[in-house]
Chains A and B, each alone.
Chain A
Amino acid sequence: MSIQGTEDIILEVKNLQTIFKTDTGDVRAVDGVSFKLPKGKTIGIVGESGSGKSITSLSILQLLASNGKITNGEVFYKGDDLLKLTENQMRKLRGNEISMIFQEPMTSLNPVYTVGQQISEALMLHQNMSKKDAFIRSVELLQLVGIPSPDKRVKNYPFELSGGMRQRVMIAMSLACDPEILVADEPTTALDVTIQAQILELIKELQDRLGMSVIFITHDLGVVAETCDYVAVMYAGQVVEYSDIRTLFHQPKLPYTIGLLKSLPRHDIEQDKLEPIKGNVPSPHEMPVGCRFSPRCPAATDLCRTKMPQLETDENGNQVRCWIYTDEWTGEAEVDIYGETRIAKSGGAKTVLPD
């Protein structure tokens, strides 16, 4: 499951930085994000609200609001740096080779056009289909995403459909041109749990059938466990841990990731109560100088508070941004999860990672 292997990398994000100009100064929403997306796989980007995960995805497609600006980094797709493409070249990729579904199905469809018109638009634009062919294909797509009586639904307006149905329409729309990459920005957050499971199942099934790669943005580790092959954990605009899914859940390295897992309800073990991570995500205007998690980290030392750790890659290709895993670490660290010690290290000793 290592990322280093011979897998074909379809998208590689390197040191992406995005700022927003605001009245109170520039806000670094994304500050040095890097990850690789192997072909046909799913990478999850997880983090709390405001960690920069949605902005990362919007930056890749260059769909930022007008006050947002990508200041640094590279996004390689099929050998090209997307950030160097012109707006016209980028437009040919959007909705065609890289498409996106959004968090809010209720407001993400245009209220004044029918579902069919909205799906057809991408087909007519990118595939040069005639109106009639696009319409026929729209019905097929609605069928593909499991909408009953698609020939009738295709003529419906968004307001005539439920939230789950609308998200299916969004998925149909994003799949219209057989994209290589699907960016799903919290596609199930606004839906109730049963519909959530259906939509996740649908995305997975379509991925298997169509062989696309998926970037799955979510704050829900449960969803990650079910859908992703790799995970990038984001905190305060940075990727802080990146690994394959098994490693993340069984051998989490970062105190932050461990904290996230501890706050997740589990039914396979006995839990008296969930343990939240204390404190809040730092305000973008007052970023800590050192490790951004240090004010909330149970293992933080002076080193953590004064110097920013780098994203280090281990022999398996997994990455972590934490001083504990470097030779410079001299302090003591002990972080436990469900009563088991996960990290135990004291000055100079080797990191202990129980299975």
Chain B
Amino acid sequence: MTKYIIRRLIQTIPVLIGVTILVFSLMHLVPGDPAQIVAGEGASEQTVENIRERLGLNESIPVQYGRFLGNAVQGDLGSSVRSGRPVMDEIGSRFWVTVELAFYSTIVAVFLGLIAGIVSAVRHYTLADTSIMIVALFGLSMPNFWFGLLLIQWFAIGNWMPESLEFLKMRPSGWGDSWRQIILPVLTLGTGGAAIIARMTRSSMLEVIGQDYIRTARAKGVSERIVTYRHALKNALIPVVTVVGLEFGGFLGGAVLTETIFAINGMGRLTIDAIRTRDFPVVQGTVLVISVIFVLVNLLVDISYRLLNKRIDLN
């Protein structure tokens, strides 16, 4: 197992080099002179020249890439063009905010999704199943930003609430100390994820429940509850774990809209702001960090396959 993890970590190196090449080329793929773009229209010749100097754009492209890679390995992703602060510092605190959001959202998604999926599968073709699947379909099709806005309308502004329900009010006044601030964005992200997980769990469970070994378990005299949770669920979880991994990665990189709506200062907003202001070093930095996380999450997913089913040979 340890051997496998080490080998997988080594295998991520080419992937990450590929990512750095892509990230690095961002600046050069944008039409026009990067220095001019950064400086903005109407900047003086001298300013453009200074920026070019500072971003090292005078060197040949391979040399620039070499330097970018060399610095990145040492944790130096350059400095923000706008604020002048090192990119790593810009990412720093926001990174943990996003990770926290993604983590809690994943927990909510897994919790709700698994329960809904299992109930749906065990009682398939009943009213419970149909209702859950209709709700899940809503969850899937409703855009996050819309659902987020609705939640704000209902639970943050909440004009409809009588005084006795005031305790339900969540006023996200910023990020940090209180669950009242985290709960609405987590619900926004988590319910969407739960819908996908519920549907995946249901179909996976239904497939497993039809297997011969489930009949064997019943023939042994075990109760339906044990059949479901001990014999079926563990087998059904493999495709679900894949989805959970993808969801978590998606929450990390794709929570832009949710972060914007709830005014959360996370990675998503940092990326969007950087793109808008053409702050290339910051864009490169955030994309790179998210990619690294994605690769690691995938590794975790592969390891959990093995934990669930010893037949999956990691070698």
Contacts and interface: CB of A to CB of B under 8 A. Distances in A.
A136 interface: no
Interface stretch (B99-107, B218-226, B290-298): B218-226
Contacts of A138: none
Interface string A96-118: 10011010100111111000000
A159 B216 CA distance: 16
Nearest to A107: B212
Given A107-B213, A108-B212, A63 B310 contact: no
A96 B220 CA distance: 7
Contacts of A99: 219-220
Interface string B121-140: 00000000000000000000
Contact of A61 (B211, B219, B231, B234): B219
Nearest to A105: B212
Contacts of A121: 217, 220, 222
Interface string B192-213: 0000000000000000000111
B235 A112 contact: yes
Contacts of B217: 110, 121
A126 B310 contact: no
A96 B221 contact: yes
Nearest to B124: A66
B212 A173 contact: no
Contacts of A100: 219
Nearest to A173: B220
Interface footprint category on B: 10 to 19
Contact of B221 (A91, A108, A157): A91
Contacts of A173: 216, 220
Interface in A54-104: 61, 63, 91-96, 99-100, 102, 104
A224 interface: no
A112 B231 CA distance: 8
Given A102-B212, A107-B213, A112 B219 contact: no
Interface footprint category on A: 20 to 34
B235 A110 contact: yes
B212 A92 contact: no
B44 to A, nearest CB: 68
Nearest to A65: B210
Contact of A111 (B218, B222, B235): B235
A112 B308 CA distance: 7
Q: Which of B221, B222, B308, B309 has the most CB of A within 10 A?
A: B221
A135 B25 CA distance: 60
Given A107-B211, A111-B311, A112-B234, A170 B221 contact: no
Interface string A136-163: 0000000000000000000001010000
A92 B311 contact: no
7 contacts: A94-B218, A102-B215, A107-B213, A108-B212, A108-B213, A110-B213, A121-B217
Given A94-B219, A96-B221, A102-B212, 17 more contacts: A63-B219, A94-B218, A99-B219, A99-B220, A107-B212, A108-B213, A108-B215, A109-B213, A110-B235, A111-B235, A111-B309, A112-B234, A112-B310, A112-B311, A125-B220, A159-B310, A159-B311
Interface of A: 61, 63, 91-96, 99-100, 102, 104, 107-112, 121-122, 125-126, 157, 159, 170, 173-174
- Kindly list the 4 A-B residue pairs having the minimum CB-CB distance in the complex, ordered from nearest: A95-B220, A94-B221, A95-B221, A107-B212
